[in-house]
Homo-oligomer: A and B are copies of this chain.
Amino acid sequence: METDQAPRPITPEECVVTRTLTFVGSRWTPLVIWHLLDGVKRYGELRQALPGISPKTLADRLQALEERGLVTRTVHPEKPPRVEYALTPRGFALGRILDDVARWGEEWEDAD
């Protein structure tokens, strides 16, 4: 979003912000990232922290985050195996932006 000369005309498909927001804005994704900002979480902990999310949706969101390098999935070879999810540096960088969005939303929603 270089703004020192007039921005050139682009379509939503060419817009990195639109592409990013389309992914990050998908239902539950911001909340999954938000809870992982708090630290490593097991699948069960995330399910408890996300009232109403289905097991499949949570698994899909975690897989999508993992595929984009935002989350790591670590399987500890215990009986039963312990599976933990954590944000990567890329994920934390996005989490901080979502924090800014939260502050923006809280500041301006109160003003209404």
Contact = CB atoms under 8 A, between A and B. Distances in A.
* Residue from the set A99, A100, A102, A108 with the largest chain B CB neighbour count within 10 Å: A108
30 contacts: A3-B37, A3-B38, A3-B99, A7-B34, A7-B35, A7-B37, A7-B38, A9-B48, A9-B49, A9-B50, A9-B51, A10-B31, A12-B27, A12-B31, A15-B31, A16-B102, A16-B105, A18-B25, A18-B31, A19-B109, A20-B102, A20-B105, A25-B25, A69-B108, A69-B112, A90-B108, A93-B104, A93-B107, A94-B104, A97-B101
Interface in A20-35: 20-22, 24-25, 27-28, 30-31, 34-35
Interface residues of A, number: 50
A76 to B, nearest CB: 21
A86 B112 CA distance: 19
Q: How many copies does the complex hold?
A: 2
A78 interface: no
